[in-house]
Amino acid sequence: PRIVVLAGGVGGSRFVLGVRGALRARGVDDTAAALTVVVNTGDDIWLSGVRLQPDVDSITYALAGVNDTERGWGRRGDSERVNHELQEWGAGWPWFTLGDLDLGTHLARTGWLREGLTPTDVLERMSHRWDLGARLLPMTDAEVDTMVVLDDGTRLHFQEWWTRHRATLTPTRFENPGIDTATAAPGVAEAIAAADAVLLAPSNPVVSIGPILGVPGVREALRATAAPIVGVSPIIGGKVVRGMADVCLTAIGVETSAAAVAGLYGARESRGLLDAWLLAEEDEAAAGAVAGLGIRPLVRPLWMTDAARRSALGEAALTA
Ligand code: GDP
Ligand code: FO1
Ligand code: CA
């Protein structure tokens, strides 16, 4: 099979682990040939001279089994010696931690970018260190930031808004300067066109899936593919599992509910994207509303708390 997943960081990586697990359970040996992940790069940033790709790294580390599962970002068991030194110099951001092992990744990536490799090339090169069992593609090779605009007009980078202010400053909108002139990374449109199924991970609809869909050509490729498009709700029981998707959704005028997020993506039959939507047992009452949108609702357990649950969800999405 040829499966394409659109994904952000924490929710994205848990789901990609699940899809890889489900493919393995189905007897697919070469999951890297079967599974392509298009990763959000909208929250990437330059800091202390190095390029950070939080969602790319979350997925890479999770597939490699070296991720910090508690925090949801960075390497497990990392130390912070270099970070301490950067703080002493007054470099970087005092509220933002760059782990030592994680910095190795950023240095390698930045070096290759400066040698002229594209982000796609760099990610391909980085995929060889571990047996990831998936092909990772950045959504675009262009640098696209996510900026948060507050009601007094202040604009700050998503990473500052989230890691410094913990989403306590109320946003009025999110912007991705540069996205209109960006193009999808090589292979993205082709993978979507050739897919047997496209899965939208239960990632943040606004700042993870939103930027991917905002890259010119991606939405068109999704609308054109013969593959069914199946989404998984990041909202369980009317709440975010973790993170700040609720604050992001409120800012764009969308209720924090499984049905409202399905409505945001829209039904394929009415110029949206979704053929089917997996919603949690806790949200069973919303199934009718999802069906009313023209999207096939499937009530399933959506908690990805361990490998078995993740793979079961991956299998449910593949079956759908
Ligand atoms: P980020 O880039 O690190 O913010 O991560 P993503 O955008 O990929 O995913 C964030 C979303 O994942 C949040 O809105 C969470 O609600 C969702 N999420 C995290 N864990 C789970 C889970 O076990 N099940 C479901 N359905 N959603 C989850
Ligand atoms: N998140 C934090 O809340 N605090 C941090 O200090 C922090 C550092 C960090 C370093 C590298 C990296 O790839 C991610 C990091 N994150 C940190 C996570 C990241 O800011 C966000 O959780 C995601 O971008 C949200 O999608
Ligand atoms: Ca992210």
Query: Span 286-310, mean pLDDT?
Result: 98
CB-ligand 2 contact for 96 (6 Å cutoff) = yes
Output the CA 242–ligand 1 centroid distance in Å.
6
Range 141-160 average pLDDT: 97
Tens-digit pLDDT profile for residues 191-217: 999 999 999 999 999 999 999 999 999
- Could you say which ligand is closest to the alpha carbon of residue 159? 2
Ligand 2 mutation pick, 159, 204, 242, max ligand atoms within 8 A of CB: 159
Give mean pLDDT, residues 132-151.
98
Among 13, 203, 282, 283, name the best residue to mutate to test ligand 1's pocket (greatest count of ligand atoms within 8 A of Cβ): 203
Mean pLDDT of 103-132: 98
Would you state the pLDDT for residue 99? Answer: 98
276 strand-pairing partners = 230, 296
- Which residues contact ligand 1 via a Cβ below 6 A? 7-12, 14, 55, 58, 72, 202-204, 208, 232-234, 236, 240-243, 245, 302-304
The CB of 159 under 6 Å from ligand 2? The reply is yes
Protein residue with least CA distance to atom 5, ligand 2: 96
Mean pLDDT of 14-26: 98
pLDDT of residue 197: 98
